[in-house]
Amino acid sequence: MIKRRSSRSGANALAGYICLALTIFLVGCGALQEPVLHQATPVIEVLTEQQTDLQPTTPPTATPLLPTATPTPEPTATPTPLPTATPEPTAAPLLSPIDRMVAVRNAESGAALFVTFQDAAGTGYSCSNCHLADSEKANLGPGLLNIKDRALTRVEGQSAAEYIYDSIINPMAYLVEGFDAELMPQNWSEIYTDLEIFDIVAYLLTLEGESDIDDPDPIEAGEEETAEQG
Ligand code: HEC
């Protein structure tokens, strides 16, 4: 092999002879044959090590891609549930705490309380002593039929439930024209619990029916007109 090479390239004949001489010398030494093999082996090993060195460098380049991918979905996922939760709170302000309480209270219990005589109420009264539940006509107090509609016209910004609740626990907060301001007992909140008053409000909100305010009753109709004109 070496002889053929040196015969082919005449220009490098000198180099060929040097190589040949060197080979003969090395072969002559004999013992150097093994070192040559040993030298070749480390080269392969070094290459293998370099390759294995290169292999670990590949994963690191892939790992930075993962961290960049992981943080991105998290921030996008977190803001999304928050805006979805916001619409719910916006629905809440539509109903006040009083509205929500009254909505789940028991109108039947309220009806019973409405006609229950209370010694501690003023000189002793039930609501029904002064208020008609089945009429808009006045007794000692205003008739409460369809009160849920009139309640909305009493105090701006108050729901029907809020106005009726206030009318019971603080009758002086709004005075219906044409009636004795201090006639309604002021201490219902000491007689009834809040939950009981919510029951009464729930009951009053159920009082619906055809208006009877214009029914022939000249005296009361005249009082109503005077009250409206102020
Ligand atoms: C002694 C009579 C009397 C009793 C008892 C009484 N009220 Fe009254 N109530 C009045 C008078 C008078 C008014 C009107 C003057 C005012 O606004 O305070 C009134 C007003 C109201 C109003 C407002 C009506 C409107 O048209 O705006 C409501 C509601 C009401 N009362 C509910 C009740 C309830 C419920 C009870 C029992 C827990 C009760 N009242 C007990 C005399 C009474």
How would residue 24 be classed by pLDDT, with cut points 50, 70 and 90?
A: low
100 assigned to some structural domain = yes
The answer to whether 200 touches 113, Cβ cutoff 8 Å, is yes
Q: Is the CB of 138 under 6 A from ligand 1?
A: no
116 and 162 together in one domain: yes
pLDDT digits (tens, 9 = 90+) for 75-111: 555 555 555 555 555 555 679 999 999 999 999 999 9
Residue 126 CA: nearest ligand 1 atom is 5
pLDDT band with cut points at 50, 70 and 90 for residue 126: very high
Query: Does the beta carbon of 171 sit less than 6 angstroms from any atom of ligand 1?
Result: yes
For residues 109 and 147, membership in a common domain is answered with yes
Q: What amino acid occupies position 33? A: Q
**Model pLDDT, residue 48:** 46
Residues 134, 57, single domain; the answer is: no
* 58 falls within a domain: yes
125 - beta bridge partners? Answer: 118
> What is the mean predicted confidence (pLDDT) over 191-214?
96
- Judgement on whether residues 199 and 106 belong to the same structural domain of the protein: yes
Q: How far is CA 203 from the centre of its chain?
A: 32
Atom of ligand 1 nearest to the CA of 151: 27
The band of 6, judged by pLDDT with boundaries at 50, 70 and 90, is: very low
pLDDT tops 90 at residue 185: yes
Q: How far is the CA of 95 from the centre of ligand 1 (A)?
A: 24
State whether the beta carbon of 129 lies less than 6 angstroms from ligand 1. Answer: yes
Residue 88: inside a domain, yes or no?
A: no
What local confidence, expressed as pLDDT, does residue 220 receive?
54
**CATH code where residue 217 lies:** 1.10.760.10
What is the band of 22 on the pLDDT scale with cuts at 50, 70, 90?
low
Residue 180 in contact with ligand 1 by CB distance below 6 A: yes
DSSP SS3 for 125: strand
Q: Which range of residues forms the domain containing residue 148? A: 96-229
Residue with the nearest Cα to atom 7 of ligand 1? Answer: 184
CA 68 / ligand 1 centre spacing (Å) = 69
Q: Is the CB of 182 under 6 A from ligand 1?
A: no
> Mean pLDDT over residues 30-44, rounded?
47
**149-169 pLDDT tens trace:** 999 999 999 999 999 999 999
Q: How many domains does the chain have?
A: 2
Q: Is there a contact between 67 and 164 (Cβ–Cβ < 8 Å)?
A: no
User: 53 and 135: one domain?
Assistant: no
Same domain, 64 and 148: no
In a domain, 83, yes or no: no
User: Are 54 and 162 in the same domain?
Assistant: no
Q: Is the CB of 110 under 6 A from ligand 1?
A: no
Looking at 14, 41, 73, the residue that finishes a domain is: 73
pLDDT at 47: 46
Distances, alpha carbon 48 to alpha carbons 41, 53, 61, 144, in Å: 10, 8, 21, 98
- Ligand 1 centre distance from Cα of residue 180 (Å): 10
Domain shared by 116 and 177, yes or no: yes
Tell me, yes or no, whether 89 lies in a domain.
Answer: no
Other C-beta atoms closer than 10 Å to the C-beta of 33 total: 11
Whether 82 is in a domain gets the answer no
Cβ of residue 200 lying under 6 Å from some atom of ligand 1: yes
Complete DSSP assignment for 138-179? -SSS---TTHHHHHHHHSTT--HHHHHHHHHH-GGGS--TTS
Determine, yes or no, domain membership for 78: no
Ligand 1 pocket: which of 113, 126, 131, 164 to mutate (most atoms <8 Å of CB)?
A: 131
13 and 115 share a domain?
no
**CA-proximal residue: ligand 1, atom 38 (nearest):** 127
Contact call for residues 203 and 107 (beta carbons, < 8 A) = yes
Residues 107 and 219 in one domain: yes
* Same domain membership, residue 225 and residue 141: yes
pLDDT at 228 over 70: no
The percent of residues above 90 in pLDDT, for the chain, comes to 50
Number of C-beta neighbours around residue 228 at 10 A: 9
144 C-alpha to ligand 1 centroid (Å): 9
Flag whether 85 is in a domain: no
Domain identity same for 133 and 28: no
Least trusted range by pLDDT, from 11-20, 90-99, 123-132? 11-20
184 lines ligand 1 (CB under 6 A): yes
The answer to whether residue 205 scores a pLDDT higher than 70 is yes
